[in-house]
Amino acid sequence: MGRRKIGLALGSGGAKGFAHVGVLKALEEHHVPVDFVSGSSMGSLVGAFYATGMRPDFMDRLARTLTWRHWVDVTVPRVGLISGKRIHDVIALLTKGADFQQANLPLAIVATELLTGSSVTFTTGRIADAVRASISIPGVFVPYVRDDGVFVDGGVMERVPVEAVKELGADVVIAVDVATVMKREVPATMMDVIMLSLDAMMGQLLQHKLPTADVFITPDLSDIGTSQFGRAGEAIEIGYRATLAAMADILKLVDEADESFT
């Protein structure tokens, strides 16, 4: 038997999800091995980039350089404000058009199938397609439609996809919830209204179905709005600091995993 395998579960949260990049930077600096990755919504985007070989430092530069206008294509509102084709194309480019089987690390991406109201975990097919499904915030993005369903944001059903990374084979799980610390303010944009509504709903689901992880990292991103993509640098730094604060527990977890060698 080898050592116990470590999985990383990255949760949803809109612009707050840039904190995942800071988490990855801290883990990499401390040589924490990651054997499996799962992601929901913004966590699926960061997780997909990481699993296909993008380094956290490059993600940091990308997040600080590209504006949200590079990613979105506004459409005439029917079932969403953003058509999603542009971000789909960008994701395909940055993940090298890879299928799940071509990823550097086993990857699971969670989305919600709208017609059945069920959580769906993608582990096969093209990674960019799964991410496009998972980031489809209802009312903001046009749902991702294909023969097997109509897909919206993974965070609707699974804010932090702990079970998905366990199903990949992870024995121990580091989970990151970027939306757990909330500051309730009057929303400034339509996206804020939608995201606050989703956060309230997801918070209730999370209380009734609390995922179990070995370490939970919960960065305090309450001052960053879910639509404030221009504050990526701040979110990354907060995620980095929160991971450093949890590093003693994480390294203990790694040591225990290493000690499982026989």
Q: CA–CA separation, 231 vs 11, rounded Å? A: 18
Among residues 129, 153, 177, 214, the one annotated as catalytic is: 153
Instruction: Specify whether 153 is catalytic.
Output: yes
Assess contact for 36 and 170: CB atoms under 8 A: yes
Among residues 41, 44, 134, 227, the one annotated as catalytic is: 41
Instruction: Specify whether 83 is catalytic.
Output: no
Q: CA–CA separation, 21 vs 8, rounded Å? A: 12
Assess contact for 167 and 7: CB atoms under 8 A: no
Catalytic residues: 41, 153
